[in-house]
Amino acid sequence: MKILVTVKQVPDTATKIQIRADGQGIQEDGIKWVINPYDEFAIEEALRIKEKQGGEVVIVALGPSRVEEAVRQSLAMGADRAVVISTDAAVDPAAAATALAAVCGEEGFDLILTGKQAVDDDSAQVGPMIAANLGLPQVTVVLKLEVDEAGHRLRAERELEGATEIVELPYPAVVTAQRGLNEPRYPTLPNIMKAKKKEVRRVSMDSLSLALDPRVTVNRLFAPPERPEPTILSGEPEETAKELVRLLHSEAKVL
């Protein structure tokens, strides 16, 4: 079974983000870049399927030269090889999905796994749009996945509000991974050394000859306003209650 896993490199969630002076992006100096956490669940699930049924796990990533670090980490987890779509340009979800779908189509596959969303922009659009570009069935935010290789079908469980939904679909298909699907493994030292020798094929975004006109344009980024200092009330309960009501009415304007 051939499984493709799309991987995005994102800033570590513990990193303090600073907006560039022109408001068109973030300051990248000093940022620690990591594999998108939801993509790690997708990688782990692909490896588990391979361990049960055999086959190949291929990482497909898009981004500037620094994305190779995330790719090598994915290979160290156990993926067999990788394809990197190289671009220094900012790419919106629609363009990213179009480029990823084009490379996935060239590679051929039985299953495409992605994270449910990237933690930097939280768009949650790329996986479903890859499926749309390739004309494939899809199931998102999956917490459990079973592969029936004989029947060429998938059985996926999704958690809804107050319920669990079970979806059965044929593959090839696209599945997006939710937290709870599995526990991603840590790369071992031997696998880290092996990853250095694994194949990484590089494809220029321009060489794909795709119409990648952005559907989303960022006019300006800005940081959220700082939270005001809290107001602490003290004194007799009756007077404190009256002051709380006054503040909620006149300042917070929630009453």
The answer regarding whether domain 2-208 maps to CATH 3.40.50.620 reads yes
Asked if residue 181 has pLDDT above 80, the reply is yes
H helices within the chain, ranges in order?
A: 37-53, 67-77, 93-107, 126-134, 189-195, 237-250
Q: Which of 18-27, 31-40, 162-171 is least confident?
A: 18-27
Amino acid at position 236, single letter: E
Task: Locate CATH 3.40.50.620 in the chain.
Answer: 2-208
Residue 188: left (phi > 0), alpha (psi -120 to 50), or beta? Answer: beta
Q: Is the pLDDT of residue 214 over 80?
A: no
pLDDT for residue 209 = 84
- Which band of pLDDT confidence, cut at 50, 70 and 90, is reported for residue 186? very high
Query: Do you know the residue count of the chain?
Result: 255
Average pLDDT of 86-109? 93
Would you say residue 167 has pLDDT above 90?
A: yes
The rounded distance, in Å, linking the Cα atoms of 7 and 35 is 7
The structure tokens listed for 177 are 């991974």
